[in-house]
Amino acid sequence: MDRARQAPPGDRPRRRGAELADLPESARDGWWFHYGRALAAVARTAPPRVLDLLDAYPPSRFPRSLDGALGVLAEADPARLLRYLAGPWRQGLSGCLTPAVLRTLARSGAPELAAYARGAAERPRELAALLAAQAPADRPATYETAVAGRGAAHHGVDPLVLDVLPRRYVTDVARRAAAAARARGAAWSTVLFSASYLPPAEIRKTLLDATRRPAAEDRAFGWQQYLRNAARTGDPAQVTEAAAESARRLRNEQDPVRGQAVRALADDVRPALWRTASLPHLSRIVRDAVDARDCSHETRSALTRLALGVLRAHAAGPDREPVDWGLATLVALHGHTGAVDLGRLDRTLRRGQEHQVHAALRRHIHAEAEKNDYRLLLGLARAVGRRADAMTELQDMLRTAAEHGDDSTAREAIRLWLEPRATRAERVEQILTIEPSAAALPCVAEAVAVHRTDLLDLLLTGRPPYGRFLRDKSPWVFPVGGPVVRRWLPRQQRAYLQQLKSCADDAGLDTWRRAEAIRCAAFVPEGGLALVRRWVDAPDVALAEAALGALGRTGDDLPLLLGHAGGDRARVAVYTATQATRHVRPSRLEPLLAELLTGPGKKVTSRKEAARLTATRLPAPMAAPLLARAFAAPDAHRDVRAACVAFAAYGLLGEDAAWEILAAAAGDSESVLRGAALRLAPLDLPRAHRVRYAALVAAVADTDDDELAALALTELASWAPWSPEAPALLSRALTDVERLDTARWQAAASGLVRAATRSDAGTDTLCAALTTLMDHGAAPDAGKERDRPAYRRVEHVAGLLAAHTPRAKLQRTVALAVARLLAARDPFVVRAAEILVGAVDLTEQGLRELAALHADRPALASRVAGRLRERLRREAEGATTARPWPTPSPRQGPTRRACSRGR
């Protein structure tokens, strides 16, 4: 086992850091991915250690596994996290910042905040989130820092940013932006949008003129800006004036114009700004919109949102007129108040205000109750949540609704009436007294099963409680089972088991109901499992599989389950046996698994699952020899042997038997077995085993099977630091132009490029391979279909290097070495320039070297200039200059993933 895993938790970052220091720079991404979750746990207790590792051995991207620990890291060292946000990790990291993390950073006062704000200025959403996290008094200074040097017309203005700036300050920003937009001849809508942030007295006439433009879409935009301008003031008088203007002029407008105005009223105006004086104007707007022949669904939805917003905002206030208006508007729109969604009032109201809301709605609730309509009552009960427990009158109305409402109303009312925990036991008895068939409702049955087990006898014996919720002659089984049954008295358990038995035996019932009864019987302590065992050989597939699936909660039935591993029910039996193995001692489990692995008459899938259980459930000294016997069995299926190979590498490499399996697989003629030896990545193994495993990978890669070679050569590059022969093997595969299999030589090319970034010897090998290929000459030498294979391979390697950006120092060294090598050969000067533009240092000497390749090549100069411009732009933003370096995605081995899923 890896010694770092045996270390105390506080010492693990130091040991992991020592391991990270031994890795080549280009292999760090895989390390951070592999140990990311462990480091996230360490970050919560020792954040400085994780930050030190990030500084000393930075990956190319910020590890996504640390996203959940950003809050702890921000509190520990906000300056360092802000430096990360302003550097190459910004693009991937900024999208993971929660409001709490942003608040910590924005209010830290760290000098690095300015650099982050300047980088965020190019992304309005990011800058708006940063400003919103600050105190309002600090936002102007941060905004000025962010846009400093970008000009007054910095990409115009964005509502996300302007909406979070203080009201007094945003006026100056908007005035400058509007003036700059006019000066550069921007569209009238751009100017109007900027000007809409000015005070109403200054801009009202201009906005109203926009609502009179000849084009409908222009008028719609004008109404939107006019109403938003009034809403931004936060002044009820301004909002009322805007509503009055809208009511006077929207009657004869088209629906696209009217709908835009209504959406602005519903979505942009805070409902609390509507006062009694504005209600007549809103009523006229609603009436005119509903009466219009072209009124759209979107417009009616906006009117509904407007009515609900007013209702929610004023329900706890002293004025009753807004509440009455909101309910009346809902009736006008839908014919009834319906299932009014009042939102989560328990999260928005102060403690005690729920009584004011009830008082405001009481008259309407009683009026609807007289018509046997309790939807408004139920909506209020849902909205106030647990606060309804202390609202006596509301609880009394819920009982009335449960007793006199229709079936759907009664179901919901009973559920809400049983919510208070203090009175649940008493109320469930009252409900059963009023309507015994309510026992069929899940909420009632759960309350009886948990809180009032004394009522169970009436529901488990005698005549079923037929009534409104349980139709006459319907099958009856108490609808709550599971572990709670163990809390009942023995006589109640026996009675419940008898119900389940009758249901399972009734061939006239639906199969799913009978199968559910069998599954529930497994939880009854006395006699339940015996009932389940009766059905494991049932001719009905659903019933038999339900019984097998219910037997995995103890280890007693493991032999029975494994006995079905060779039959048609193996898909369920073996899966359930996997659960049962958790309850069996290894000494008892080992012979059972041995029989499943090597015994006769078992399905291949069952044997493969047995191989997994052997590796995960048995101690390594037991598991490795058992897998070795299964692998060496003369009649073993190929897939079973491959599973033995894969699982032998999972935690068993401390045993010689596991290495014997891997060595035999690496030399086997079956490509499936040889491929199974490639399942692990370097970081899946302790350091002590990596050299030995790398030799196995190299042995598999040296094969005549092109498909297997392509896979092995791709993996071999990851093992290059532990395999001295890897670069030479990759070079031979690349330079062997007699082999024309594209997948093989392309895998070798990609692997050799990656191996070169891990050592100086790899760089020399890559350059030597390219020299060998270029020495083949330019003459056609591969027939009509695949001409000039050597040159095609050189072009492919050059394309890999040109398409990606070298981040690490050794990666840059490789790119420069290859570029200079290619520049010496005229056919490859273009490729050399494309590589050099991403790798060269942007100094005078480096730029001169790049420019020297463009003599008498104007088209190349133009193309490279564009790429250089893009690189400069990205580096100015603190981002990477191109796509990442060609490295396969860090991964766990398939074996470990399969084992972690418990499959």
pLDDT at 735 over 70: yes
Q: How far apart are CA 744 and CA 487, in angstroms?
A: 65
Residue 645 CB neighbours (<10 A): 28
Rounded Cα gap, residues 199 and 172, in angstroms: 11
Q: What is the pLDDT of residue 27?
A: 75
- Judged against a pLDDT cut of 70, whether residue 290 lies above it is answered with yes
pLDDT at 798 over 50: yes
Q: What is the pLDDT of residues 197-218, one digit of tens each?
A: 999 999 999 999 999 999 999 9
- Decide: pTM greater than 0.85: no
Separation between Cα atoms, residue 479 and residue 499, nearest integer Å: 11
Q: Quick one: average pLDDT of 618-622?
A: 93
- Mean pLDDT, all residues of the chain: 86
Q: What is the DSSP string of 543-558?
A: HHHHHHHT-TTSSTTH
Report yes or no: 726 and 713 within 8 Å, Cβ to Cβ: no
Q: pLDDT, tens digit, for every residue of 234-263? A: 999 999 999 999 999 999 899 999 999 999
Distance CA 357, CA 472 (A): 42
845-895 tens-digit pLDDT: 878 888 888 777 888 888 888 888 887 776 665 543 344 445 444 444 433
Cβ-contact 681, 718 below 8 angstroms: yes
Cβ density class 323-355: b for 16+ within 10 Å, e for less:
bbbbbbbbeebeeebeebebeebeeebeeebbb
Q: Please, which residues have CB within 8 angstroms of residue 745's CB and are 6 or more apart in sequence? A: 733, 734, 736, 739, 793
Model pLDDT, residue 902: 36
% pLDDT > 90, the chain: 47
Amino acid letter, residue 724:
P
CA nearest neighbour of 707 among 678, 665, 664, 683: 678
The 10s digit of each residue's pLDDT in 658-677 is 999 988 888 887 888 888 87
What is the pLDDT confidence band of residue 423, given thresholds at 50, 70 and 90?
A: very high
How far apart CA 855 and CA 851 sit, in angstroms, is 8
Determine the distance from the C-alpha atom of residue 61 to the mean position of all C-alpha atoms in its chain, rounded to a whole number. Answer: 18
Using 50, 70 and 90 to split pLDDT, how confident is the model at 805? Answer: low
CB-side exposure of 680: number of CA atoms within 13 Å? 24
pLDDT given for residue 394 in this prediction: 94
Is 836's pLDDT higher than 50? yes
Contact, 28 vs 885, CB < 8 A?
A: no
Alpha-carbon span 344 to 386, nearest angstrom:
11
Is it the case that residue 14 has pLDDT exceeding 70? no
Q: Is the dihedral of CA 689, 695, 698, 700 positive or negative?
A: negative
> What are the backbone dihedrals phi and psi of residue 804, each rounded to the nearest 5 degrees, phi first?
-130, 165
The rounded distance, in Å, linking the Cα atoms of 338 and 692 is 72
Give tens-digit pLDDT for 89-128. Answer: 887 787 788 999 999 999 998 999 999 998 888 888 899 9
From the list 273, 192, 260, 191, the residue with the least C-alpha distance to 232 is 273
- pLDDT at residue 3, as a whole number: 41
How confident is residue 782, by pLDDT bands cut at 50, 70 and 90? low
Query: According to the model, what pLDDT value does residue 739 have?
Result: 82
